[in-house]
Structure 1
Amino acid sequence: MYDYELVVIGSGPGGQKAAIAAAKLGKRVAVVERGNMIGGVCVNTGTIPSKTLREAVLYLSGFALRDLYGASYRVKSDITIADLMIRTQHVVGREVQVVRSQLLRNHVDLLQGSAGFVDPHTLRVTGEGRDTSTVTAGKVVIATGTRPARPPHVEFDDEHVLDSDGVLHLNHVPNSLVVVGAGVIGIEYASMFAALGSRVTVVEQRAQMLDFCDPEVIESLKFHLRDQAVTFRFGEEVSKVEVSDRGTVTSLVSGKRIPAETVMYSAGRQGVTEDLHLEKAGLEADSRGRIKVDGHYRTTVEHIYAVGDVIGFPALAANSMDQGRLAAHHAFGEPARELAGLQPIGIYTIPEVSYCGATEAELTRSSVPYEIGVARYRELARGQIIGDTYGMLKLLVSTEDRTLLGVHVFGTNATDLVHIGQAIMGCGGTVDYLVDTVLNYPTLSEAYKVAALDVYNKIRALEVFTSAPAPKDDLTPAPSAE
C-alpha cells in the first residue's frame, strides 16, 4: 500500500493540472514543491512575471499611444524598476494564492521541499531546514520545468551579466543592453527594454530570428524594433564578455566590440532534473536535462510520467496544462482524447506575434495551392482608435476548397485574435464563413472580414479567368456567307 496513488513533482501548469485531474478521479494525490515556488517557474520567474512586466511596460511607456500623441509621449517620464515590479509582484502573489487554493480545494496534499528518488516508488522530500521525509507513490509525474541555460564560459554576476530570470531582479532600467540570443525569450525582453528607451543590441549566431514564423511578419517586427533603436547582429558569435565598474564590453568572434551597461543571455532552457536522482528510478535525462516520453507522456519506467517543459518541445504553459491532464488520465486508465494537432504559437513581443496552422513556406514545400488575404489595422476603425497603424492579419486559404490553412497576426491582441482562425480551422471551416458572417464593429476582429473578402475576391478573379472561353484566333477565316 503506497502513501499516495500519485505524487507529482512540481506545481507548475503541467504538475498542477496532473494533480487536479487525478484528484477528480478520486485518487490520493500529493504535490511536492519548494516553498517559494508554488505555481512553478511559470508563475514565479517565467510566463506570468514576464507577461505582467510587458503590460507594465506598455502602460507606463505609453508605447501604444505614441502614434496619437507623439513619439515622446509617456505616462511616467522616469520609469523605475520599482514601478514595473509592483504590478508584477501583485500578480505573482495572486497567482500563487490561486494555485494553492485550487490544490487544497481538490484535496491535494502539498509537500514543501525538493524531491529526489530513493527507488522507483519512493521519494525523499528535503525541506528548507534540511529536514527530510519519505513518501511512496504508485504513480509519479515529473513536472519540474526548466531554468535558463548558462553557458559554462560566461561569468554571470546577476548584476552586469545575467539571464532572463535575473531581469526580474534588476535594480534599475539599464541605459543600454546587449541581448545574446534572438529566440522567443530574448526578443521579448529586447522589445520590452527598447520600449522603455534602452539602447538594445541583439546578437544571434543564426542568420535570422524566429524562422518558424511567417517571414513577412518577422520582417515587420524587425522594422518596428529597429525603429525603437534596436540593433541586430546576425551571424555573430560572442567570444567573451568583460565587466568593469562602468559596465560591460561584449567581444564578438568577428572582432566587433559592443559596450553596454548590462548583458542578458538567452541561451535556451535547461531541465531541472539534476537533483531528482533519476538513476535510482531507472531513468536518465539528456544533455539539456530533458526526459524522453512516449505518446502518453510515459517514461521508460512504466509508472513514471513526465510533462511540461522538462520533456522539451513545445515547452509552452498552455500545452503543459493539457499534457498534465492527459498524463493523469493515461496513468489511471481513464479514456482521453489526444490534443488536436492544430495549436497556436504566441510571442509576446512589443508588438505581439501569433500564428496557427501552416506557413507559406510549408504550403509551398508541400505543393499546396493557396491564396493570401491581408487586412491592415490602419484600415480598421478600431486600429485608428487604439493607435495601432502597423498591425496586420494574414489568411492563407486553399484555392481548391477554400478551407482556411493558416492565420498569421502581428500587432495589438495578436495572441487573442489568432484563436478565431484556430477555431475555424479546427472545425474544417472555409473562408466563406468569414465572408458571410457579421462581426462586431469597430473591433480588431473585423480584420478577419477584411482579409476574407480580400482573398475571396482573388480566388473569384482566378475562377472567372480560368472559366472564360478561349479567345478566337484572329487567323481563322470567317465563315462563308453561303
Structure 2
Amino acid sequence: MDYYDVCIIGGGPAGYAAAMRAIDYGKKVVLIEKNKLGGAGLYDGALTSKTMWEFSQNVLTTRKQIDSSNLRLDVQWSDFIKTVNEAIFERSFQLSCHLKILQEEEKNHLFKMERGTAKLLDKNTVEITKNEKSKNIKSDYIVLATGSIPRKLPNIEIDEKVILSSDGIGHIKDFPKSMVILGAGVIGCEYATIFANIGKTKVYIIDKQDRILPFEDKDISKLISENFEKKDIVIHEESQLTRMEIINGQVEYELTDKNGNTSIHHVEKALISVGRIPNTRGLGLEK
C-alpha cells in the first residue's frame, strides 16, 4: 500500500492549487481525479459562462451600433460555441503544461497523479477505483476538493437536451427561439442576460420571490430588473412552478401566481438554475 503526506480528491482549481502548495512544502502528494483535470469551473462552469457573457456583450454592442443602419447581425451558434471552446482549450492546455511540471516531481517521489474514483474507507484510507479495479492508499491528511454540481429537483427530469442544467447549456445545437429559466439567482440571471444579448431567444424567468437576486441589495435587484425589461426579458414574479414536462419535443410548464391563478406556457428549452450542491456523492462521507 502506498503512503502519502497529503491525498487530494478532485483535480479542479482548488485541488490543483492544494497539490502545488503541498509540494512547495516538501510533502508527498497524490492527486485523484476521475474526469478531466480542471473540473467543472473549466469545462461546464465559470469559464464557459463568463466567455459566453463576454461574447454576448460584444454582440449587444455591435447590434446597437448597426441598428440605425437597418442592418441585422446574424450570430451563428457554431461561432458562439467555438469562442467558448477556444477559451477552454487555452486554459486546459495551460493546465496540462503545469501538470507536466508537477509530474517531474515524481522523480523526487513528491507527486503522483491517479485517475479514478475515490472513496473514503476511514480518516486515513482512500480506495481508488478505475476500470473495475481498486487499490487502497494511506495518507496523513485528506483534502476534499470535489467541487459542486447543479442542484436538481425531484419533480423535473433533466435530459440535457430540452430541459437543461448549466452543465448541458453548452451542448445544445442552436440558439432556441424561446427559453424559460427556473431560478432568478446569479447563474439564472447570467444566462438570461447572455441569451437576451444575442437577440435570437425570447427569455422567461420563473422567480418565486418578490424580486430577482434576493441575496443582493434591493437597489441592485431593481437595477437588474430594469435592465431585463429593456432586454425584453419576461419575469414571472412571485410564481410557483407546479409542473414542467417535455411534450412533443418542447417544454410545457404551469405556473401559479401569488393570487392563485394558473397559467400554462410553452418554450423550446428550459434551464434549471436552482443553485449548486457539494459534489460528495459516492465519497463515503456518510460513514
Read off the aligned partner of 2:222 and give its amino acid letter: E
Contact kept in structure 1, 2:32 and 2:117, CA below 8 Å: yes
Structural mapping, 1:197-276, within 5 Å? 197=199, 198-245=201-248, 247-254=250-257, 255-276=262-283
2:286 partner SS: helix
- Distance in 1 between residues matched to 2:64 and 2:221, nearest whole Å: 21
Counterpart amino acid of residue 272 in structure 2: Y
Name 1:51's counterpart in structure 2. 50
Deviation of 1:57 after TM superposition, in Å, equals 2.6
**Alpha-carbon distance in structure 2 between the residues aligned to 1:140 and 1:87:** 37
Cα separation, partners in 2 of 1:11 and 1:210, compared to 1, 3 Å: same
The one-letter amino acid of 1:256's match is S
Normalised TM-score (structure 2)? 0.89
- What is the CA distance between 1:40 and its match in structure 2? 1.0
Q: Which residue is equivalent to 1:93?
A: 89
1:122 Cα offset (Å): 1.3
Cα gap change, 1:42 to 1:246, in 2 (>3 Å): closer
Q: Determine if contact 1:210/1:218 at 8 Å carries over to the other structure.
A: yes
Q: List aligned pairs for 1:61-460, cutoff 5 A.
A: 62-70=59-67, 76-80=73-77, 82-106=78-102, 107=105, 108-127=111-130, 129-197=131-199, 198-245=201-248, 247-254=250-257, 255-280=262-287
Q: CA deviation at 1:184?
A: 0.5
- Aligned residue type for 2:30: A
What is the Cα deviation at residue 246 of structure 1? 5.0
Cα deviation for residue 9 of structure 1 reads 0.5
Change in 2 beyond 3 A, CA 1:133/1:73 = farther
SS in 2 for 1:23: helix
C-alpha separation in 2, matches of 1:244 and 1:279:
39
Distance in 2 (CA, whole Å) between partners of 1:77 and 1:261 is: 20
SS of equivalent to 1:279: coil
- 1:9, 1:272 → 2: CA distance? 11
AA at the equivalent of 1:57: S
Q: Who wins on radius of gyration, i.e. which is larger?
A: 1
SS of 1:3's equivalent in the other structure is: strand
Please report how far the alpha carbon of residue 15 of structure 1 lies from its aligned counterpart in structure 2 after TM superposition.
1.1
One-letter identity of the residue aligned with 1:185: I
Higher strand share: 2
For 2:128 and 2:83, locate their aligned partners in 1 and report how far apart those are by CA, in whole Å.
33
- Contact 2:11 / 2:39 at 8 angstroms: preserved in 1? yes
CA deviations on 1:256-312 (whole Å, 9 max, x unpaired) are: 2221111111011121111101134xxxxxxxxxxxxxxxxxxxxxxxxxxxxxxxx
The CA distance in 2 between the partners of 1:73 and 1:39, in whole Å, is 41
SS at match of 2:196: helix
Unmatched segments (≥5 aa) in structure 2: 106-110
Letter in 2 for 1:167: I
Q: Which SS does the other structure have where 1:186 is aligned?
A: helix
- Alignment deviations for residues 44-80 of structure 1 (CA, whole Å, 9 cap, x no partner): 1111111112223333xx2124443327666x51422
What is the alpha-carbon root mean square deviation over aligned residues? 2.0
Deviation at 1:100, TM superposition (A): 3.2
Report Cα offsets for 1:9-47 as digits up to 9, x if no partner: 11112111111111101111111112x321111111111
CA distance 1:238–1:73, change in 2 (3 Å): farther
TM-score, reference length from structure 1: 0.54
Structure-1 separation of matches of 2:188 and 2:48: 15
Q: Kindly tell me: are residues 3 and 83 of structure 1, through their superposed partners in 2, closer, same or farther at Cα, counting changes over 3 Å?
A: same
SS in 1 for 2:189: helix
* Pair 1:54–1:130, CA change in 2 (3 A): farther
Q: Percent identity?
A: 27
Q: CA deviation at 1:253?
A: 2.5
For 1:55 and 1:15, locate their aligned partners in 2 and report how far apart those are by CA, in whole Å. Answer: 27
Runs of 4+ deviating beyond 4 Å: 71-74
Q: Which fold has the larger relative contact order, with Cα–Cα distance below 8 Å and residues 6 or more apart in sequence?
A: 2
